Each structure stands twice: as C-alpha cells, then as structure tokens.
Amino acid sequence: QPFNRDLKIVGELAGIDTVIETCYVKGGDKVIESHKKFQKITTHTARRSFATNLYKLGVPSYDIMQITGHKAEKSFLRYIKITKNESAKRIQTIFDKT
C-alpha cells in the first residue's frame, strides 16, 4: 500500500488535480462523491495507463501483452483506453504513409 500512497503524492505534485465525481449505489441509495483525480490513482491506474500509452506510441499489441501478461488480444484491447476518435486517427496515419 505504500506504493499506492506514493503514486497519489506524485500525481498531486504533477498537478493531476481535476475534480471528478464518482457515482455508486450503497444500501439502495445513489451516492455521488467528489475527489481530486490524483486521489484515485492506484498501481492499476498506472499499469493501465502504461499499456495505453505504449499502444498510442505504436508499440505492437503483442509486445505490450508480453509485459502486461494478457494472453488474448481481445481482452487486452478491452483493457486499454482508446477512444473511437483516437483509433480513427491511428488508422488515418497508416493510410497517410501509403
């Protein structure tokens, strides 16, 4: 847990302080909480961001999967956070090179 605490400190120092709302149901009631973004950073956030950023840099999925331990590309592609717009730009870049 010290590593998760340290990640939050690094996030705060980096200025990742946008306020976000988290919504969940507790005891049948809808609960909305506000947090600064750095307060929600965990090792999982760092791992997922690492994989997503490598993918955006053009590193092949298979190579990233060797690091993350994903066995199936289908589950890996659900794991990373790529918007439809980012995907379209990536494809456009490929076509621009031809």
Closest CA relative to residue 64, chosen from 78, 54, 74: 54
Residue range 39-64: average pLDDT? 94
Residue range 89-96: average pLDDT? 87
Enumerate residues 6+ apart whose C-beta is below 8 A from 16: 36, 37, 38, 41
Our measurement of the distance from residue 76's CA atom to the centroid of its chain's CA atoms, rounded to an integer in Å, reads 12
Residues 12-49: tens digit of each pLDDT: 999 999 999 999 999 999 999 999 999 999 999 999 99
Residues 66-82: tens digit of each pLDDT: 999 999 999 999 999 99
Residue showing tokens 């730009």: 89
pLDDT at 98 over 80: no
Helices (H) then strands (E): counts for the chain: 5, 2
Q: What integer pLDDT is reported at residue 17 of this predicted model?
A: 95
Tokens read off for 85:
């717009």
Tokens read off for 32:
């909305």
Q: What integer pLDDT is reported at residue 69 of this predicted model?
A: 94
